[in-house]
Homo-oligomer: A and B are copies of this chain.
Amino acid sequence: MDQRKRITLKDLAAKAEVHYSTVSRVMNPATRHLVADDVAERILRMADDLGFRPNRIAAGLRTRRSGLVGVVLPDISNPVFAPILAGLEGVLASQGYVPIVVNVGADKARQRFIIDQMMGRQVDGLILATAEREDPVLDYCVRQSIPVVMVNRGEDLGRVPCVVSDNTVGMRLAVDHLVTLGHRRIGHIAGPDSLSTGHQRKQGFISAVRRHKLRKGEWLIVEAANYGREAGREACRALLGQSPGLTAIAAGNDLLALGCYDHFREEGIACPGGISVVGHNDMPFVDALTPALTTVRIAVHEMGARAAILLLARIADAGAEVASVVLCPQLIVRGSTAPPAD
């Protein structure tokens, strides 16, 4: 009923008339030199002919390395995560690792359950895209002392390496751009303050408007319920309800900006004619919106790649210094921002 009986080290050794430990040495490039060249060559050829694929599960049991990395995602339908995953996967694969990815949502109990499962599967390390600024799951990982790195979102304590975009700079780019266009009344739709991205971007917004000496009342912040489009629409309504005179909005991410578009459409507000919007992330296809979204591009793919590199380093040497990586974002000016009407 099932796959043709898989051939093993021993089968191959029998055919080659050598001890199976010799075959083992040949199959592993690192130990191949221990075997006479002619023998190695012969065995390699036979392995190829027979389609011998060493059982990595068995090897992993012996070496205590699974070659598996657990990737914990909060929301795979958010387009930011696809390129991050692609970046991760690329470098992991190049080193013979493979990601096991689980989409867990925001529930901490479930995250912990999943991480337990992953540890049961002997993952060599964990990449978390789910971290909150204070995160019990992260505490748990630290206690277990399993190699972990965070991606996109960090924690406040900095116990664990993380790879993030420079959110302060990102918001400053956004605000500088708006101010340069002539805006003085600017709103910010913040992401959840429990997430480092939400918090840092908000702080970045505040320090940027202060730098430009905007007075209290000229700027305003509303925190969205989450990073989704619908939450953005609601926050936009609240923001403009509180301060109808705003001429520009810096959104905490592109989905929130999309929610602003939705609100504008409902209310017949022109963009950028009536109000300007800047997003954050430059997620796929926001250039195809009308107006094309001005946004802060973060290096998502690179973020994934760097996180994988950091994790691999940590797997190789758990004592390595906790170094984090902060990637520089870039302002992408498109059609959703213009000088204010008045």
Contacts and interface: CB of A to CB of B under 8 A. Distances in A.
Interface of A: 1-4, 53-58, 60-61, 66-68, 76-77, 79, 81-83, 85-86, 89-90, 93, 98-103, 114, 116-122, 144-146, 229, 258, 261-262, 284-285, 288-290, 317-319
Classify the secondary structure of A's interface with B: mixed
A74 B254 CA distance: 26
B56 A288 contact: no
For the complex of A and B, 3 pairs with smallest distance between CB atoms: A290-B290, A53-B120, A1-B318
**How many of these chains are in the complex?**
2
A318 B101 CA distance: 26
A236 to B, nearest CB: 14
Nearest to A293: B288
A239 to B, nearest CB: 19
A57 B55 contact: no
Contacts of A53: 116, 119-120
Given A57-B66, A100-B100, A79 B284 contact: yes
A284 B122 CA distance: 35
Contacts of A90: 103
Contacts of A82: 76-77, 79, 81-82
A72 B327 CA distance: 30
Nearest to A118: B98
Nearest to A116: B53
Nearest to A283: B285
